Homo-oligomer: A and B are copies of this chain.
Amino acid sequence: MEVILVYINFPSRDVARHIGTALIEKQLAACVNLINGVESIYQWKGEICDEVEVMMVAKTTVSRYQQLEDYVKEVHPYDTPEIIGQQLAHGSEGYLNWVQDQMEGRH
């Protein structure tokens, strides 16, 4: 299936909104959902860290994934941002077509 989900974490709502809006304007994502107040726990240089982040779920396509990744790496404030993508196995035809239309500028 051509449509995929991409997860990207951000340090704040404003940064997530700014980059998310740019992804849509550049037709690198059809839409993005921002989940606020996500608590991220990880280890950094041996210390357990606990930060509040914003989780973005972007709907894009396999053919646009690499451009999306390259753009996010260019503008994201982290050195190594989380950018991971998952295949879809099912989807309503109308919605999947809408995603494709968005990516090809047929609004």
Contact = CB atoms under 8 A, between A and B. Distances in A.
Interface of A: 3-7, 9, 13, 17, 20-21, 24-25, 30-46, 48, 50, 53, 55, 57, 59, 62, 65, 69, 73, 79-92, 94-96, 98, 102, 107
- Per assembly, the copies of the chain total 3
A107 B44 contact: yes
A8 to B, nearest CB: 9
Report whether over half of chain A's contact residues are helix, strand or loop; otherwise say mixed. strand
Given A31-B42, A59-B82, A87-B89, 16 more contacts: A3-B84, A5-B84, A5-B86, A17-B39, A21-B41, A25-B43, A31-B43, A34-B38, A35-B35, A36-B37, A42-B102, A59-B84, A69-B90, A84-B95, A84-B96, A85-B88
